Amino acid sequence: MTTRYEQMSKIDNLLADKSSSLSGSLQSFFTSLQTLVSNAEDPAARQALIGKAEGLVNQFKTTDQYLRDQDKQVNIAIGSSVAQINNYAKQIANLNDQISRMTGVGAGASPNDLLDQRDQLVSELNKIVGVEVSVQDGGTYNLTMANGYTLVQGSTARQLAAVPSSADPTRTTVAYVDEAAGNIEIPEKLLNTGSLGGY
């Protein structure tokens, strides 16, 4: 949730800053409006109100652009997170395969380095999206995301995709890649762990 907190803090700072924010521009506009109401015949008060109105419009434009930029940054971050998840899943599946071969019938090796590498990758993966680990015969890991989607099953890694949201195509969301059905969006409420859950 640190990611969500950081995003909300940026927006809060933008909207709350009295000197260069929407809040300050609104306050200045309404102060000038009140001055004009008190001095309706004063041309300077009219010009001041027009100036403050233009400043308010510009501040709305600046705020809008900032929020759009933040939205783009979140979309990029989601895409990057999905790429990292897919990369870790492939590496873990590959390590599962190697570990299974080394510990299989007749092999008898103890692949401690590979086990450590895999555990480190699972730890890194958990920082992005929470996964549950179940140890299978032969020491392989199956990894399931909190929403029940199997990410790694033995030596097979399933993939995720960053796709435009069906609810708002300007926003990027996460989907399962299903060979038969195509990309299936994961409801955002189910992605509530790790840094991905904060976007």
* pLDDT mean over 155-183: 92
Residue 132 has pLDDT above 90, yes or no: yes
**Does 145 have pLDDT greater than 60?**
yes
User: In which band, very low, low, confident or very high, does the pLDDT at 28 lie, cut at 50, 70 and 90?
Assistant: confident
Q: What is the pLDDT of residues 93-103, one digit of tens each?
A: 999 999 988 88
| Predicted confidence band of residue 1 (pLDDT cuts 50, 70, 90) | very low
Three-state SS at 134: strand
- What is the H or E stretch that residue 135 is in? strand 131-135
* Region 45-57 average pLDDT: 91
Joined together, the tokens standing for residue 176 give 């399962």
- The stretch 161-181 carries a mean pLDDT of 91
> What's the average model confidence in pLDDT over 185-196?
84
Q: What DSSP string runs through 153-198? A: ETTEE--EEEEE-SS-TTSEEEEEEETTTEEEEPPGGG--STGGGG
DSSP 110: -
> At residue 26, does pLDDT exceed 60?
yes
